Amino acid sequence: MAQVLADRREMEFVLHEQFEVSRLSEHQEFSEFNRKTMDMIMAEVRTLAIKEILPTLKIGDQTGCRYEGGKVTVPPEFKRAWNQLIRGGWFAPCQNPEWGGQGMPHALHVMAQNYLIGANMALLMVAGLNQGAGRIIEQFGSDEQKKLYLENIYTGQWSGTMALTESECGSNLGDLSTSAVKNEDGTFSLTGNKIFISGGDQDMTENIIHLVLARIVGAPEGSRGISLFVVPKFHVNADGSVGERNDMVCTGIEEKMGLHGSPTCSMALGGRGKCIGTLVGEENKGLSMMFLMMNEARLMVGAQALSCASSAYLYALDYARQRIQGPPLSGKDRASVAIINHPDVRRMLLTMKCHTEGMRSLLCYIAFLEDQKKTSKDSREKERYQNLIEILTPVGKGYVTDRAVDVCNLAVQVFGGYGYTSEFPVEQLLRDVRITTIYEGTNGIQAMDLLGRKLAMKNMGLFLDLINEIKTTLAEAQMIHSLSALSGKVETAVNTLCQVAEKMDESVRGEAVLRAYAFANPFLEATGDVIMAWMLLWRAAIAEKKLEKGVEGKEADFYEGQLNSAEFFISGFLPVTMGKMASIMDLCSAAINISDASFGGK
């Protein structure tokens, strides 16, 4: 029987062979999560995803959300799936058990997300906001705020949102106009409008806890004057019961290209009465608090993209094995064969396979860094882990989502005409995944973050820590004779990337700053390509050692597949990356020099 969402053997490989995540159980923080427990959790989440959540995927797309009479309704089937997520404890699995979390390793959660998000990204988009909203309250909120909201958010009884965006301030949140006036009792009255608020209203939970950015009247202009507030849909009484309706209401939902099951709401605050919120942390520190949580939010988007790509690949693979069309291009037999036998289809499938595998390893690696940072007692080691997380986050969001769109696009191509119809799920996956390159900071912003901030931090120290990690893998792979040629190609690309990074860092701080930023996205792509080559070479080194021990059957097929993925990417894609890096080094100024009128269109 064909697998869906994610390949089980592949998941085991990443968890237990590449990163050996169960080693975390040697530390008190994760003592409960040995390999047996992890395998049990993964088996349970796979069953939950396939049996309970996946059946809602097409329903959410075709039925969608409805806005009537000032209220948003979701497909009724979503409510059952939401309750199953509550029973499984999947709203804040990595968070403090004291408040309803499970204390799960981030690496294990990221792997579980392959199944959950892959089953229904729209539903998990709403559910996924709980962990981020709760973390902000847990880290910065008052004792009263924690008592009133945290457990219900972490357990999924209530949902959470991030109400940041406004019509006149998308990426530049410092320009927001929502205002707050302090009341005598210490609360604040908020007035303004928000747009693109995922899960801003829905009928799956009794209450919705909004985290709202606003400017207190009299605060400094720009980002220095932004504060953060907790604004519940319904006020919460001192005993924890739900009270009167607050004046933060949905005024409509967006009709979107995809993600139809996720209500993307416009919200009005204080338009009909008083919208009351309570301050989180200190005044004028709201944006810095949000940015502290941005890594997690951006990596969640990367996980969304990977989940769509993983599903699309497995659907395309299964279809290619079943679809009979055309004779083979060689041999005497002219009978039609399954399209997986045709070279171009195999090229597309292997492109999807190697990218999906590399992206999965990258996201699990970043999550594993978080876990290692938590268990480490050495301050320098903690700093190194954080450096790697910082430098890899724009790649985990920007590069992964771009490549995931490519993978889903190829899946449609493998299906041919059927892929363009709603009869098969790949056209929905392509529509759904497209948003991941846009929200939580567009990929252009991810590229600017990598070039303008992360590359320069600590005198390029973050970048150098990353290069040292890659060189560790290179040294190990070069000891394996069969991988020496591939290792040499990766080493050449790594050395070239170092030269490019040095020039880009110099350029962005000098007179060539505009030209440098014009090549920020190619620099992100080149960095991502080199990191993919690193991850795939790492996987190949593990596989080669297992093959040397004489494994047979399906295990041998799996490990051979790892070698094929690495060879295909390193020999086929990395030379293109080398050309890309040569282009970056030239810093062509055409995009900067062209006048507005020369673009045409008038």
How deeply is 208 buried, as exposed, middle or buried, from its count of CB atoms within 10 A (0-12, 13-18, 19+)?
A: buried
Q: Which CATH superfamily is domain 8-143 in?
A: Acyl-CoA dehydrogenase/oxidase, N-terminal domain (1.10.540.10)
Residue 294's pLDDT is 79
Say which DSSP state 190 is in: E
* Whether 497 contacts 526, CB under 8 Å: yes
Tokens of 56: 């809602």
- Structurally, at CATH architecture level, domain 293-441 sits in Up-down Bundle (1.20)
Evaluate whether the domain defined by 160-290 bears CATH number 2.40.110.20.
yes
How deeply is 20 buried, as exposed, middle or buried, from its count of CB atoms within 10 A (0-12, 13-18, 19+)?
A: exposed
The rounded distance, in Å, linking the Cα atoms of 116 and 264 is: 20
Average pLDDT over residues 328-339: 84
**Crossing angle of helices 121-140 and 294-322, rounded to 10°:** 160
Residue 585's pLDDT is 96
Tokens of 311: 């599903």
**Best CA proximity match to 529, nearest among 505, 507, 508, 500:** 500
* Whether 352 contacts 526, CB under 8 Å: no
Tokens of 529: 């390509």
Angle, CA of 50, 111 and 553, to the nearest 5°: 80
Q: Label residue 170 by pLDDT band (50, 70, 90).
A: low
Average pLDDT over residues 353-380: 97
Domains in the chain: boundaries: 8-143, 160-290, 293-441, 455-595
Radius of gyration for the alpha carbons in the chain, expressed in angstroms and rounded = 25
pLDDT digits (tens, 9 = 90+) for 534-579: 999 999 999 999 999 999 999 999 999 999 999 999 999 999 999 9
* Residues whose CB is less than 8 angstroms from the CB of residue 139 and which lie 6 or more positions away in sequence, other chains included: 289, 292
pLDDT digits (tens, 9 = 90+) for 374-421: 999 999 999 999 999 999 999 999 999 999 999 999 999 999 999 999
Report the mean per-residue pLDDT for the chain.
95
* Whether 211 contacts 134, CB under 8 Å: no
Average pLDDT over residues 319-334: 87
Question: How many CB atoms neighbour CB 129 within 10 A?
Answer: 24
* Whether 131 contacts 95, CB under 8 Å: yes
* Whether 204 contacts 158, CB under 8 Å: no
* Residues facing 253 on adjacent strands: 265
The rounded distance, in Å, linking the Cα atoms of 177 and 520 is: 30
Angle, CA of 100, 106 and 112, to the nearest 5°: 85
Average pLDDT over residues 26-54: 97
**Crossing angle of helices 520-548 and 400-415, rounded to 10°:** 70
What is the H or E stretch that residue 197 is in? Answer: strand 188-198
Angle, CA of 201, 203 and 209, to the nearest 5°: 50
Q: If DSSP codes are grouped into helix, strand and coil, which group holds residue 66? A: strand
Categorise residue 457: left if φ over 0, alpha if ψ from -120 to 50, beta otherwise: beta
- How many residues make up the chain in this entry? 602
Residue position matching structure tokens 């320069």: 456
Residue 1's pLDDT is 65
* Residue 293 confidence (pLDDT) above 80: no
Average pLDDT over residues 199-203: 96
**Active site positions, annotated:** 440
Does this chain's domain 160-290 share its CATH topology with 293-441? Answer: no
Angle, CA of 39, 301 and 164, to the nearest 5°: 135
pLDDT digits (tens, 9 = 90+) for 66-119: 999 889 999 999 999 999 999 999 999 999 899 999 999 999 999 999 999 999
Stretch among 217-226, 227-236, 430-439 having the lowest mean pLDDT: 217-226
pLDDT digits (tens, 9 = 90+) for 299-326: 999 999 999 999 999 999 999 999 999 8
Query: Burial code of 227-247, b = ≥16 C-beta within 10 A, e = fewer?
Result: bbbbbbbbebeeeeeeeeebb
Q: Is the four-CA dihedral 421, 427, 431, 432 of positive or negative sign? A: positive
* Residue 175 confidence (pLDDT) above 90: no
How deeply is 26 buried, as exposed, middle or buried, from its count of CB atoms within 10 A (0-12, 13-18, 19+)?
A: exposed
Q: How far separated are the first and last CA of the chain, in Å rounded?
A: 57
The rounded distance, in Å, linking the Cα atoms of 55 and 49 is: 9
Q: Label residue 39 by pLDDT band (50, 70, 90).
A: very high
pLDDT digits (tens, 9 = 90+) for 445-480: 999 999 999 999 999 999 999 999 999 999 999 999
Angle, CA of 336, 340 and 342, to the nearest 5°: 65
Q: If DSSP codes are grouped into helix, strand and coil, which group holds residue 514? A: helix
Average pLDDT over residues 503-529: 96
**Best CA proximity match to 194, nearest among 270, 285, 284, 283:** 270
* Whether 115 contacts 46, CB under 8 Å: yes
Q: If DSSP codes are grouped into helix, strand and coil, which group holds residue 220? A: coil
